[in-house]
Structure formats: structure tokens, C-alpha cells
A and B are shown apart, each in its own frame.
Chain A
Amino acid sequence: RKEVEQDPGPFNVPEGATVAFNCTYSNSASQSFFWYRQDCRKEPKLLMSVYSSGNEDGRFTAQLNRASQYISLLIRDSKLSDSATYLCGETGNMLTFGGGTRLMVKP
């Protein structure tokens, strides 16, 4: 079983829609988590960290559910520019990434 798992998608949504991704992790001792964004043929970039209390940055909200061992990312009012692959993961000495969820926002 992989340490971090994601639905690969793709999620196809219209502009303005709200979309949510989940990501499950297997290590119950993991303390901190994150979401990275990766555009096609580009390197990953940190989108946001995920705290126990949740984290919100504009249209993006990340939540942690320790009981069920998953983290989520909610994107409100989707823009065409949100089209990308979203990588979740956990932070230890190194970052362990999931396989990524592909989002395609259509006009």
C-alpha cells in the first residue's frame, strides 16, 4: 500500500465550479501535510500547508481529518488557470508525495 494515495482524475469542471480532492495517508503518526501544484511539464510548487485547524488562502481551503487519515483541498470559483495536477503529501525528513490529481477547468 502506498503511503499517500490520490484519485488520479482527471476532474473536468466548468469555470466557476467548486471542486474538492481528497488524499489518504497511511502513517497515523504523520504530523504535517501539504498540497503542491504542478503544471504540465513544469516543476511542482508549494500551494499550501495543511494544519490541524485547516488552512485557507483565497479560493483554496485545505482540511485535515486525522480520524479518517485524509486531507482535502477545496477550490471555489474555479478558473481556467487552476488547470494543473495537484499533489498532496506528508512531511517528515523528506516530503512524500501522492500520485497527483489532475484538474481540468473548462470554459
Chain B
Amino acid sequence: DTGVSQDPRHKITKRGQNVTFRCDPISEHNRLYWYRQTLGQGPEFLTYFQNEAQLEKSRLLSDRFSAERPKGSFSTLEIQRTEQGDSAMYLCASSLSQDNEKLFFGSGTQLSVL
């Protein structure tokens, strides 16, 4: 499968723990995005990369959240000191910069914070 892959599919953690998610984009895509989605809502933008550069980060994003894309390929999203309000589906997407409205999403990582 050459689509966007995310790992893990599900993560259950206790409040206060740190969690890290991984995203492998489509190989030729230079843009990579992280979104968060809760039930009944649309995807909410978190951050995006062009190659290895993190170009934008949502103002709503707490400093407990950090993302990296060290070699311009896969990306990781870390949440430190998780809170119950962090429970959501974390979606990764990739695109070509010249076709940036055509995002290819992964299946997401469902995070549950107990």
C-alpha cells in the first residue's frame, strides 16, 4: 500500500503520560499535515511541514504538542503530559505543494486519555 500510513491505530494512555505518533506520507509528497478530529467535528489544523521545515503551527496548539519531520520523510507528533481533552483522532495527510488542496489522509491514530 503506497498511501499515507499512521502508527499506532489506537493509543490508550493515562493522564499525564507522554505519547508519540508516527506518520509515513506518500513518498513523493513534500507537504505533510497534522490534523485533529473529534466526533461530530471537522478536522482541525495542527501544523504542517514542507520537506523538513515546519512552516505553520496552529495558534490553538498547546506547547505540550511538538512535531518533527527530521529528514523530510516521516513525521512524529508528540503530546507531553496528556490531558483528557487531548482525546481525539489524530490525522496525518500529505500532498504535493503545487496541488495542496488534494490532501491524502491516513487512517488516523485514535487517542484515548483516561
Instruction: Tell me the A residues contacting B by CB distance below 8 Å.
Output: 4, 6, 8, 32, 34, 42-46, 49, 87, 89, 91, 93-100
Contact = CB atoms under 8 A, between A and B. Distances in A.
Interface of B: 33, 35, 40-45, 48, 55-56, 91, 100-103, 105-108
B57 to A, nearest CB: 10
Contacts of B56: 93-94
B45 A46 contact: no
A6 B41 CA distance: 10
Contacts of A42: 107
A40 B105 CA distance: 14
**Main DSSP-derived SS at the A contact region:** strand
Contact of B41 (A32, A93, A100): A100
A24 B35 CA distance: 21
B45 A43 contact: no
B41 A91 contact: no
Contacts of B91: 43-44
A91 B43 contact: no
Given A43-B106, A43-B108, A45-B105, A93 B55 contact: yes
B103 A46 contact: yes
**Main DSSP-derived SS at the B contact region:** loop
Given A43-B108, A45-B105, A46-B102, A93 B42 contact: no
Contacts of A98: 42
Contacts of B48: 93-94
A21 B15 CA distance: 39
Nearest to A97: B42
Given A43-B106, A43-B108, A97 B101 contact: no
Nearest first, the 5 A-B pairs at minimum CB distance are A43-B105, A97-B42, A91-B101, A99-B42, A94-B45
Given A93-B48, A99-B41, A100-B42, A43 B107 contact: yes
Contacts of B55: 93
A75 B45 CA distance: 27
A89 B42 contact: yes
